[in-house]
Amino acid sequence: MRTLTVDLGDRSYPIYIGSGIRQQKALFDAAIHGKQVMIVTNDTVAPLYLDALVTLLGDDYQVATCVLPDGEKHKTLDTYGQIMSSLLAANHNRTTTIIALGGGVIGDMAGFAAATYQRGVNFIQVPTTLLSQVDSSVGGKTGVNHPLGKNMIGAFYQPQAVIIDTDSLATLPPRELSAGMAEVIKYGLICDAEFLAWLEQHMTELMALDTSLITEAIYRSCEAKAKVVAMDEREGGVRAILNLGHTFGHAIETEMGYGEWLHGEAVAAGMVLAVDLSWRMGNLEEADVSRAVAIIQRADLPVLPPAKMTKDSFMAHMLRDKKVLDGSLRLVLLQALGEAIVTSDINVDEFNACLDDAIEAAQQG
Amino acid sequence: MRTLTVDLGDRSYPIYIGSGIRQQKALFDAAIHGKQVMIVTNDTVAPLYLDALVTLLGDDYQVATCVLPDGEKHKTLDTYGQIMSSLLAANHNRTTTIIALGGGVIGDMAGFAAATYQRGVNFIQVPTTLLSQVDSSVGGKTGVNHPLGKNMIGAFYQPQAVIIDTDSLATLPPRELSAGMAEVIKYGLICDAEFLAWLEQHMTELMALDTSLITEAIYRSCEAKAKVVAMDEREGGVRAILNLGHTFGHAIETEMGYGEWLHGEAVAAGMVLAVDLSWRMGNLEEADVSRAVAIIQRADLPVLPPAKMTKDSFMAHMLRDKKVLDGSLRLVLLQALGEAIVTSDINVDEFNACLDDAIEAAQQG
């Protein structure tokens, strides 16, 4: 098992990464402070892992469970309300601990529930997908979607601990493994050229879930994110580099309807757009673009937007996106592989050409 | 105009109190940081004050409005969702400022919206009822009700400023003025015997809305609450004394259905129960009880619970209340007039006698 500390002053917390650690009761005991525990999960993860966790904790705690329907389309205010109802129906009080057992959707919703149940209760993340292990488990972003925008409702709220069991990746559908790998690749692209080279060397074994290599990849991804988040917990500045590809990606997700394209898939296509635009604006070599596209492809991820996306649909969603400040478009671009910047200094012609070419390529299949 | 600072480190903020100050644009300018403003109000307050505020701010800011139905029964997750929809429909981004124009329900909901719109935006309170001026404007509690419990969903979130215009009390229904006075009296009972004596001296003029005296009463109430909140922002300890009468009061509100009894009315009856129990447990003289009952009556407030409350309904709601930690009942009692304590050391016989006698007296009308 490896341990990483996310350094946020009195909100610091440990991330444990290892094989089989969801059965190490001591990790939970250290992070639970009261007698009540509410495990929030979904109907895909529950049959796999819920009983074992209830059994592990059931002797020492009053354990209640809340099993939600699986899928991004259920990441709504209504589903969040169901968690609140479960907590109240079980008479849980302010000393309860909410455990999120599942992927990013479960983590975001359970985290938002923890942030807002009786104005804040204890919270543990047990992320079961690669995406949630390397992304939402670090940084404290919680929330739900709104029909008019993704993650528009939420709070910054840090967990007490994150317990990442790499064994849970074995049950993950291949498409979701790829989606998670998109974020792993992102860390290489935005802040760690050496890690990017390491990924190029090991992508085949990583996609085959080599235990030791995947533990390393998760550790380095969490470490990269933790460093950025520690500098900027509430996303006032540098943290925005974590959104490489996300402004394009959110437009894709919103236009397609949540859940049609996985978040990581949309981000992958979005990262290619951002890398391409960086090259068009003179920041990258053509060979850099090829390397970025190649590693994304090796993770079985899309490198073009969906064929149904139009220029208008991109623009409509990007202007509503929260990364647009006061109407002027800001994007994360690369200055080199491993070095991202946030800029509103976008060349409009190159921006249009970048989108037009990608849309045309996508439509030609 | 008087100014009070709520001292919470980097979350400190000013409270301005005075006649006509809702028209002082400089107070708003100092607290608005972006270009977008969303005024959240209700259909009772809007006809009185909304146009003037829109006109005041409209030249310098993009002002949108969200007018909600009036009443505690609308303090729900659904209504909160309406605020979110209004913000998104108006394309408001993370630099927006939400202004709560109304009573406690509007302040709580708009504050929770500010805490959770895009994970937190700027927030100004313009409380228009006496209750919200002396209670919810200080301390940062925001949230909505759930069918299974009051204020069960919410966050701690501090405003940028609070602007209290005493003129708005002139349009307040007498019953709501009384309900607000319950909290004013509470501050005297829990922490300021000298203020309690001042209230006994001036209650007649206060109920007649003498401008100078009501400004003083609001200032001293906010000051008392600010002191307590500064010691304990997240309600881990001493802040609980602010809940004198509230555990009983919440049981009354929940049993009656939100809005049937005003919050302040329920708290008034609850404070009499707490004072009575304090006397039965030997902490107060009989004359202290008489003084407390008399000042509450002079503010035209109930001193007995509603006739339909039974012992069972009190107990069922009090055990679910968030002030009950791990099943053991904790109550705020008085050790003397002007000195509150929080205790779980409750004499069960006296507790039962206190409730039984009050219920019997209420049923006899």
Window 237-296 of B, Cβ < 8 Å to A: none
Give the per-residue pLDDT at A99.
98
Please give the CATH architecture assigned to the domain spanning A2-170: 3-Layer(aba) Sandwich (3.40)
**Superfamily of structural domain B174-363:** Dehydroquinate synthase-like - alpha domain (1.20.1090.10)
Question: Taking Cα atoms as reference points, which of A276, A275, A261, A278 lies closest to residue A317?
Answer: A261
Full strand arrangement of the beta sheet holding A36-42? A2-6, A13-18, A161-165, A122-127, A97-102, A36-42, A62-68
Query: CA-CA-CA-CA torsion for A350, A352, A354, A355, nearest 10 degrees?
Result: 170
Q: Check CB contact under 8 Å for B154 and A118.
A: yes
**Mean of the pLDDT values across residues B166-173?**
95
Where residue A162 falls among pLDDT bands split at 50, 70, 90? Answer: very high
Residue with more model confidence, A178 or A347:
A178
Residue list, annotated binding site of A: 70-75, 104-108, 128-129, 141, 150, 183, 246, 263
Give the per-residue pLDDT at B77.
96
pLDDT digits (tens, 9 = 90+) for A270-319: 999 999 999 999 999 999 999 999 999 999 999 999 999 999 999 888 87
Whether residue B256 is predicted with pLDDT greater than 80 in this model: the reply is yes
Question: Taking Cα atoms as reference points, which of B260, B248, B240, B342 lies closest to residue B303?
Answer: B248
Parallel, antiparallel or unpaired: strands B161-165 and B122-127: parallel
Counting every residue written for chain A, the total comes to: 365
Give the per-residue pLDDT at A298.
98
User: Is A324 an interface residue toward B (CB < 8 Å)?
Assistant: yes
The ranges of chain A annotated as CATH 1.20.1090.10 are 174-363
d(CA B238, CA B336): 16
Give the per-residue pLDDT at A322.
46
CB pairs under 8 A between A and B: 99
d(CA A98, CA A63): 10
Residue A108: exposure state from Cβ atoms within 10 A (0-12, 13-18, ≥19) = buried
Which ipTM score applies to this complex?
0.85
Question: Which of the residue ranges A294-308, B95-109, B351-365 would you say has the lowest mean pLDDT?
Answer: B351-365
Q: Is B104 annotated as a binding residue?
A: yes
Chain A residues within 8 A of B143 when measuring between CB atoms: 116, 119
Provide the 3-class DSSP secondary structure of residue A1.
coil
Chain B residues within 8 A of A94 when measuring between CB atoms: 322, 325
Residue B279 · residue B289 · CB < 8 Å: yes
pLDDT digits (tens, 9 = 90+) for B37-80: 999 999 999 999 999 999 999 999 999 999 999 988 899 999 99
Kindly report the average pLDDT of chain A as a whole number: 93
Give the per-residue pLDDT at B325.
44
Percent of chain B exceeding pLDDT 70 equals: 97
Give the per-residue pLDDT at A258.
64
Give the per-residue pLDDT at B324.
46
The catalytic position among B233, B235, B260, B350 is B235
Whether residue A60 is predicted with pLDDT greater than 80 in this model: the reply is yes
Nearest residue on chain B to A120, alpha-carbon basis? B155
The catalytic position among B220, B246, B280, B317 is B246
pLDDT digits (tens, 9 = 90+) for B268-315: 999 999 999 999 999 999 999 999 999 999 999 999 999 999 999 998
Tell me the fold of B2-168. Rossmann fold (3.40.50)
Chain B residues within 8 A of A152 when measuring between CB atoms: 84, 88, 117-118
Chain A residues within 8 A of B141 when measuring between CB atoms: 119
Query: CA-CA-CA-CA torsion for B19, B20, B22, B24, nearest 10 degrees?
Result: -110
d(CA A141, CA A154): 7
Residue with more model confidence, B131 or A233:
B131
Q: Which residue shows structure tokens 């190159």?
A: A350
pLDDT digits (tens, 9 = 90+) for A306-364: 999 999 999 888 876 544 445 468 899 999 999 999 998 888 889 999 999 999 999 98
Look up B243 and say whether it is catalytic: yes
Give the per-residue pLDDT at B258.
64
Give the per-residue pLDDT at B208.
96
Whether residue B234 is predicted with pLDDT greater than 90 in this model: the reply is no
The ranges of chain A annotated as CATH 3.40.50.1970 are 2-170
Q: Which residues have CB under 8 Å from A162's CB, separation 6+?
A: A13, A14, A15, A16, A124, A125, A126, A127, A137, A138
Question: Taking Cα atoms as reference points, which of B57, B62, B82, B17 lies closest to residue B214?
Answer: B17
**Mean of the pLDDT values across residues B319-333?**
66
Query: Read out DSSP for A192-257?
Result: -HHHHHHHHHHHHHHHTT-HHHHHHHHHHHHHHHHHHHHH-TT-SSGGGGGGTTHHHHHHHHHHH-
Q: Is B43 annotated as a binding residue?
A: no
Provide the 3-class DSSP secondary structure of residue B34.
coil
The ranges of chain B annotated as CATH 3.40.50.1970 are 2-168
Q: Which residues have CB under 8 Å from A51's CB, separation 6+?
A: none
